[in-house]
Structure 1
Amino acid sequence: MARQRNTRLEALLTEFDFTHKTLAAEVNRVAADIFGRPGDCADRHVRRWISGEVRWPWTRYLLPLEQIFDCPAQGLGFIPRGKHSANLPVPPSRPSPASKEVEPVQRRRFLAASAAATVALALGIDETPVRGRLSTSDIDRVHATIGRLDAHFYSIGGGPLLSVCTTYVDRLRTALDGCTYGDRVEKALHGAISSVYASAGWAAHDGGDPDQAALLHTASLQSALLAGDASAGARAWSNLALQARMEGRHREAVQITRAALDNRRARQDPHIAALLHARLAIGQARTFDRTGAARSLLAAEQAYDRVDTAATAPTWLAFLSPAELSGLAAITHQALGQYDRAEASTAQALELLPPSMRRSRAYYGVQLAELQLAQGEREQAAATVTRLDHSSLDSRRIADRLAAVRRTLTA
């Protein structure tokens, strides 16, 4: 019979980020667990399997391969030598620690029942493997989960997300230590951890815990550096700058944002550049640099004009839109004492925001009422508060600001 290349196995090597050498090493590791002695697989064996020179490997190789890829031998592209050879023996049973999970039946871990656990289950954070080989498909599913986390935040605010995010970070770090993977998957995993730390930092910020938020944003930056991911790094620096601004360290916020803009890849990404320039404008306004603030607002608009509307932005930047840029411009004008311009920009942000961005709508709704009160427009502020839809919002930070507005109105 003519030799036929095993394209199925070859595709699996690509998907799971294996080289011939690393797959051979993994076969030997799993063989030691199954048979109690080291395996003797080498990269030449893998080459022969892929080339079709060996159509049905020995059992000592097939059993580990089935476990590594969670797939029967024939599903790996191998062709039995006869009807009996297809019936592989059951792997010998070996004692294992009670805490060890067996793939794939016990691969998933669920959280205890609670409000946060309900959200966690809905978002699917328990679906990330913590044992076995991680593939690019697993990383795609991780990013999909992170996208759902971000969408949840934009919809209702932080709420129980802090505990959900920290739980997910723990799971991803367990995967980092307990799974095997190639270099590309390793970097992608660090990038995912950075993203979840950033989301956790925002949830802590929304919950009124600035100290924990600062620690989480710092951890996000560390993971971004390990990932070598410019986008994740820019996000972490931007969040640290925002944290400094919230704590009144405005010059430091300006310095951090400028450092983020020094990254060429961050400057070239119009989404990231627009966000950084807009936040730089706020910092400059609060350090009394009126000219610099005006230049940065213009730079933010020019950067956003370069955005390719057909391209998909990272999920963490889904909030960045003309509405958000108007809202950030309003904060800049407010810091400069230009309350009428700030009110007009905030009203424009609310007009442009879609209904799905409920947190942003509540945030800028409160901001509009604050600006109206600052200008003595009590009736307009009362009407703005009445129109606010915050029934499903779970953000202590926004709730506290709204309560302060109501106290002023009833004073």
Structure 2
Amino acid sequence: MTQTNCPRCGGRLARDNDSGRCAPCQAVERDRLSAPPAVPASFWEHEPVRQALASRHLGRAIRAYRFHPYHGRSALPQTVVAGWLGMTQAQLSRVENGSPVVHLDRLTHWAKVLGIPNALLWFTLPEAWLSSFREAATRTGVPEPDCHDHKNLVGSPATAPSFEVSTKEVVTTDRRQFHALAALAGLGSVGELGFLATLADESPSIGLEHVRLTSSLVKEFRQADAAAGANQLCDIAIHVHGRLASWAAKARYSRDVGEALQASLADLAAQTAWLAIDAGRRAAARPYLNEAITRARLVDDAQVEVRALAQLALLTRDSQPTESLHCADAALRISAGWATPRLRTLLHLRRACAFAALQDRSAFEREMRKARQEFERGPHQSDPEFIHFVTFQEVQGLEALSFLALDQPRRAAEAFRDAIANPSPAHRRNQLYYRVQLAEATHREGDVNQAARMALDLLPEVRQMNSRRVTQYLTDIRSTLGQRPRPAAPVRNFIEAFDGEADR
């Protein structure tokens, strides 16, 4: 046999070595079933890989990755790489041989898992995006995004902005709308929104680049919502969704673009539904979820379908708990075989909350145990982007809400205190939401004056947070406390402060 070098380390191979790897390299890579190997920079200079990336087809790039000489004489099996990426072998085969995937969440996840350098990609990874935004903010003197609406405590929904105007005009004419837009992606997404809106009016055709821009907005909506709430973002999302859906109905596009467009619009519909829920427009959310499920099924996008079903379980939890349970069951069934522990955590939490609303304590406790068991398995590199909020705080908070539904306010208060003990800067709205719920649990325990003090302390933050859902819960506390015949000073102080804010 001809003596050659190991493609990984460059060492000489023994003449009888037919594996394509020296013994030390084989030992290092025995764990490749669980994670991709660390590859050198020269790996990405391999011509088939560069050509695949230049064609903007990540499926072909994954195939070139699998057949790279660095891995030895035999290509990496599809089953192995599919496991890294959180899909089945059949799904990976379709990705490699089918039309280009343009769903930004999937592209960024796969690129991060394989470690593809950002410079070789035609889209921007989240870390690079944040860095570029900060650089742009430094150059222009624009502060970090601030979505606080200091006048919106119980007011009417913001008017949907007009995207026909330029970025400069948006900033000049409506500072509050500009801040809501800036929360999407700094200065960049305002231009993207205007660009897409202009095309929706003027362009008779849709291309993959337009679909990519649409997908990128979903991620930006999600990040802004977690930090600042959905009141004004909801108006923007509804406006954008309507324009793009109308454009898609009348524009021309290829079959490949059509499939990508359906997936992108399904994700946008699901995100719009969530923003409607947080903005207190629950009735408006359901049509978007129905649309997301329909579009997802048209293109076999199980991940978006599961996301929409999980949101539908949340939407119907209090008013139709049996339907909520069916939605969570369907999501678990559809995701069987590929769901990560964090996703299973969320779906078991949805089941637990539904059982609590149905007053089935034993079933609630069983589902909570399953949720905690899945959560303790930790995050996974294949976690979908939409479950970023499934943290310890969320597990504790949903358990606490279930205790309230089961009329156990003491246990609810204990769980809420655990939930808010370690706040996350990226999830300010959820932190405030559970603090308001703690005040409600304290009131239901019987400590009315302490609940009033807590509510008074929360009032400035609720006033600044653009979440009508959070505002409504504080409004409910004010309404309940206002029914007391001879309220003590803490209750009077809170009611006067709340009503004073509402009159502004």
TM-score of the superposition, structure 1-length normalised? 0.67
The two structures, once aligned, show a CA RMSD in angstroms of 3.2
2:335 and 2:277 map into 1 onto residues whose CA distance is 29
SS for the counterpart of 1:390 is helix
Report what 1:294 is aligned to: 365
Report what 2:430 is aligned to: 360
Aligned match for 1:207, one of 279, 302, 306: 279
Aligned positions of 1:361-376 closer than 5 A = 361-376=431-446
Is the alpha carbon distance of 1:382 and 1:232 closer, same or farther for their aligned partners in structure 2, counting shifts above 3 Å? same
Aligned positions of 1:145-160 closer than 5 A = 145-160=217-232
Task: Indicate if the aligned counterparts of 1:207 and 1:396 stay in contact, CA closer than 8 A.
Answer: yes
Aligned positions of 1:308-319 closer than 5 A = 308=379, 311=381, 313-319=383-389
Is the alpha carbon distance of 1:11 and 1:368 closer, same or farther for their aligned partners in structure 2, counting shifts above 3 Å? closer
Is the alpha carbon distance of 1:117 and 1:213 closer, same or farther for their aligned partners in structure 2, counting shifts above 3 Å? farther
Report what 2:309 is aligned to: 237
**Runs of 5+ consecutive residues of structure 1 not aligned to the other structure:** 19-108
Report what 1:64 is aligned to: none
Report what 2:134 is aligned to: none
Deviations 1:240-269 (A, max 9, x none): 2222224x2111211221122121447732
1:348 and 1:400 map into 2 onto residues whose CA distance is 23
Letter in 2 for 1:286: A
Report what 2:207 is aligned to: 134
Is the alpha carbon distance of 1:206 and 1:6 closer, same or farther for their aligned partners in structure 2, counting shifts above 3 Å? closer
Correspondence 1:169 to 2:169: no
Deviations 1:323-359 (A, max 9, x none): 1111011111222222221111111111133133221
2:412 and 2:287 map into 1 onto residues whose CA distance is 32
Task: Indicate if the aligned counterparts of 2:270 and 2:288 stay in contact, CA closer than 8 A.
Answer: yes
Is the alpha carbon distance of 1:8 and 1:355 closer, same or farther for their aligned partners in structure 2, counting shifts above 3 Å? closer
Task: Indicate if the aligned counterparts of 1:231 and 1:272 stay in contact, CA closer than 8 A.
Answer: no
1:267 and 1:332 map into 2 onto residues whose CA distance is 28
Correspondence 1:187 to 2:268: no
Report what 2:327 is aligned to: 256
Report what 2:288 is aligned to: 216
Correspondence 1:119 to 2:180: yes
Aligned positions of 1:244-393 closer than 5 A = 244-246=316-318, 248-265=319-336, 268-308=339-379, 311=381, 313-388=383-458, 389-393=461-465
Aligned match for 1:178, one of 243, 251, 263: 251
1:6 and 1:306 map into 2 onto residues whose CA distance is 37
Is the alpha carbon distance of 1:308 and 1:203 closer, same or farther for their aligned partners in structure 2, counting shifts above 3 Å? closer
Task: Indicate if the aligned counterparts of 1:116 and 1:161 stay in contact, CA closer than 8 A.
Answer: no
SS for the counterpart of 2:421 is helix
Letter in 2 for 1:239: Q
More displaced stretch, 351-360 vs 272-281? 351-360
1:299 and 1:328 map into 2 onto residues whose CA distance is 14
1:208 and 1:118 map into 2 onto residues whose CA distance is 20
Task: Indicate if the aligned counterparts of 2:325 and 2:351 stay in contact, CA closer than 8 A.
Answer: yes
By how many angstroms is 1:14 displaced?
4.8
By how many angstroms is 1:117 displaced?
6.6
Is the alpha carbon distance of 1:111 and 1:305 closer, same or farther for their aligned partners in structure 2, counting shifts above 3 Å? farther
By how many angstroms is 1:300 displaced?
0.9
By how many angstroms is 1:196 displaced?
1.8
Task: Indicate if the aligned counterparts of 1:16 and 1:133 stay in contact, CA closer than 8 A.
Answer: no
1:266 and 1:159 map into 2 onto residues whose CA distance is 36
2:48 and 2:398 map into 1 onto residues whose CA distance is 56
By how many angstroms is 1:317 displaced?
1.6
Task: Indicate if the aligned counterparts of 2:262 and 2:298 stay in contact, CA closer than 8 A.
Answer: yes
Deviations 1:179-218 (A, max 9, x none): 53553x5434322212221222222223332221222221
By how many angstroms is 1:171 displaced?
4.3
Report what 1:40 is aligned to: none
1:242 and 1:350 map into 2 onto residues whose CA distance is 21
Letter in 1 for 2:439: A
1:188 and 1:265 map into 2 onto residues whose CA distance is 24
Letter in 2 for 1:366: V
Deviations 1:265-311 (A, max 9, x none): 477322221111101101111212111111111111122223335x2
By how many angstroms is 1:233 displaced?
0.7
Is the alpha carbon distance of 1:312 and 1:337 closer, same or farther for their aligned partners in structure 2, counting shifts above 3 Å? same
Letter in 1 for 2:444: A
Larger Rg: 1
Deviations 1:32-58 (A, max 9, x none): xxxxxxxxxxxxxxxxxxxxxxxxxxx
Letter in 2 for 1:144: S
SS for the counterpart of 1:180 is coil
Count of residues in correspondence between the two structures: 313
1:254 and 1:116 map into 2 onto residues whose CA distance is 38
TM-score of the superposition, structure 2-length normalised? 0.56
By how many angstroms is 1:403 displaced?
2.4
Report what 1:88 is aligned to: none
Task: Indicate if the aligned counterparts of 2:52 and 2:58 stay in contact, CA closer than 8 A.
Answer: no
Task: Indicate if the aligned counterparts of 2:343 and 2:383 stay in contact, CA closer than 8 A.
Answer: no
